[in-house]
Amino acid sequence: MSKSLTAFLKQIGDEKVSIVINGKVKKVSRTEALARRLYVMAMGGVENVVAVDGTIIEVIHKANHKIAKDIREYTEGKAAIEPAKEKEKGAKPGQFTSETAGRLNDRLGGVE
């Protein structure tokens, strides 16, 4: 029996990675690391990243209000509709074009 993509994403999300929280390296799940990174990208600020050799690198992010809106809608349980389709008659939640999927992939590229 083949596992679904969702099952693999949950399994990978449970894996532990090292991130910097309040100046200290801590082990957290990939899901928590992603959530923390999204919040920094949404609000702007400095993200401390652990390099392969163990050194800590500071990455500065400008606030991204689109990500902040997405976080707010996700945490409030609202399904997303692609902005270009919001005004279209009959637009449905989760209706995305491959171009939108590509932009999301580019935006989140390299997330570990």
List, for residues 31-74, the tens digit of each pLDDT value: 999 999 899 899 998 888 878 898 888 889 899 999 998 888 88
User: Do residues 13 and 62 share a domain?
Assistant: yes
Calpha distance 70→52 (Å, rounded): 30
pLDDT at 93 over 90: no
Domain of residue 28, residue span: 5-78
Calpha distance 97→41 (Å, rounded): 23
Q: Looking at the chain, how many residues does it have?
A: 112
CA-to-CA dists, residue 51 to 21, 36, 54, 86, angstroms: 15, 17, 5, 40
pLDDT at 10 over 90: yes
Residue 111: what pLDDT?
Answer: 44
User: Do residues 60 and 18 share a domain?
Assistant: yes
- Tell me the percentage of the chain whose pLDDT exceeds 90: 31
User: Do residues 88 and 67 share a domain?
Assistant: no
User: Do residues 65 and 101 share a domain?
Assistant: no
User: Do residues 64 and 14 share a domain?
Assistant: yes
User: Do residues 41 and 69 share a domain?
Assistant: yes
User: Do residues 19 and 74 share a domain?
Assistant: yes
Number of domains within the chain:
2
Q: What is the mean pLDDT of the chain?
A: 78
